[in-house]
Amino acid sequence: MKKLNIAFFGAPSFAARVLQRIIDDKNLPITVVLVVTQPDRPAGRKQISTSTPVKLLAQKNNIPVFDDSSLTTNDQRLQDVDIALLYAYGAIIPSDILKIPRWGFWNIHPSLLPKYRGASPIAYSLLMGDKTTGVSLIQMDERMDHGPILSQQTYEIQKEDTREDLENKLSDIGYELFKQSVQLLINGTLQKVEQNNSNRTFTRLLTKQDGYIPFPIVQKIIKRVILKNNEIPPIITEYCNKYQLTTNHPSTSLRVNQPLTTYYDLFRGLSPWPGLWTVFPINGIEKRLKITRMTLSTNHPSTSLRVNQPLRPKVWAKGPSPFGGYRPLGEITHVQLEGKKEVSLETFQKAYGSFLNI
């Protein structure tokens, strides 16, 4: 059987993860003949020109790789492509180019479409407190994340999952969906299901400001003071207002009567960038403080899961709760002052408690 020629479009490390699995799977009846990615861009403090992880992987495996600026309608490099697979590519594909591959463009999208179309589906599934998310493989059309669904699978979000965790886990699911759909295509049994556009929602690009928390709220979190409903993070209220949801709407799974858990969800969704941060004055000079680790448990008052860390004792508060008589509290465990190394909150409080009133 002749193998299908595949063009892969992607950029970040979790897209490279999918490309690596495709390259490694010798039983998959495809050949990656072309990789398209974003141009090299300055990165880091020294602004050194840096290639995307997808480009580096393609070069390592001697696969022709180009950036998107070189693509044209008459591009001969796409003429012999059977399927173009796109994942976290970061750019719009012109409609005339969408028509070039024999079976079109397929897109791995890490959400249960039509929910969370757009740029940041993984972050939103976490910061909105969802219990489940998933991956959709769609046939692309001219509209963003709009095309018919070829395959879809759900994933139950674990309470310790960060955005990086989900990027990897959902990427693995996306690869499996692609693999299965290729086989169905070859067998002539691949089916398409149109999305229910009446249920569509959109996410936007994250900004640095999304991670900002006013210091009075940080103080409340540290002191374990229950927050008010109007102190829910702006990125969450923005989404709820846009789609006319209350913050305790069943579709958001938000625990408004447990608002500290909402900041823990925000921490997971915005980790590692932009992260959670605040500013406060020390001797009249404003300093940026990053919240580098948070913890939350809903299992038992004696233990708590910390992101990528082992179990440890935790303080709980008694009170009405859907979790068996205890109210889970979001807790900051580690911080980093600008220009300094990460330290435990306990160490930080000893040094700066008089400035912070905590």
**With left for phi above 0 and alpha for psi between -120 and 50, is residue 320 left, alpha or beta?**
beta
Q: Report the Cα–Cα distance between both ends of the chain, in Å, rounded.
A: 69
How high is the pLDDT of residue 105?
97
As given in the structure block, the two tokens for residue 116 are: 């969370």
113 is in an annotated binding site: yes
How high is the pLDDT of residue 357?
66
Residues 247 and 239: their CA atoms lie apart, in Å, by 9
How high is the pLDDT of residue 5?
97
Fold of 4-203: Rossmann fold (3.40.50)
Question: Mean pLDDT in runs of 10 for the chain (358 residues)?
Answer: 92 98 96 95 87 97 86 75 96 90 98 98 95 98 96 96 96 99 97 96 98 91 77 90 72 54 92 94 89 73 34 35 42 92 92 70
The residues of the chain that CATH labels 3.40.50.170 are 4-203
Non-local (6+) Cβ contacts of 41 within 8 A are 49, 50
19 is in an annotated binding site: no
How high is the pLDDT of residue 2?
81
User: Which uninterrupted H or E stretch holds 67?
Assistant: strand 65-67
How high is the pLDDT of residue 320?
38
| Residue 145: exposure state from Cβ atoms within 10 A (0-12, 13-18, ≥19) | buried
Question: DSSP assignment, residue 135?
Answer: E
Question: DSSP assignment, residue 21?
Answer: H
Considering only CA atoms, give the Rg of the chain.
23
Residues 190 and 186: their CA atoms lie apart, in Å, by 8
CB 89 within 8 A of CB 54: no
53 is in an annotated binding site: no
Instruction: Dump the DSSP string for 257-314.
Output: TSHHHHHHHHHHHTTTTT-EEEEEEETTEEEEEEEEEEEE-SS-TT-EEETTEEEE--
User: Which uninterrupted H or E stretch holds 30?
Assistant: strand 30-37
Place of tokens 């993984």: 122
How high is the pLDDT of residue 87?
98
CB 201 within 8 A of CB 117: yes
70 is in an annotated binding site: no
φ and ψ at residue 181, rounded to 5 degrees: -70, -35
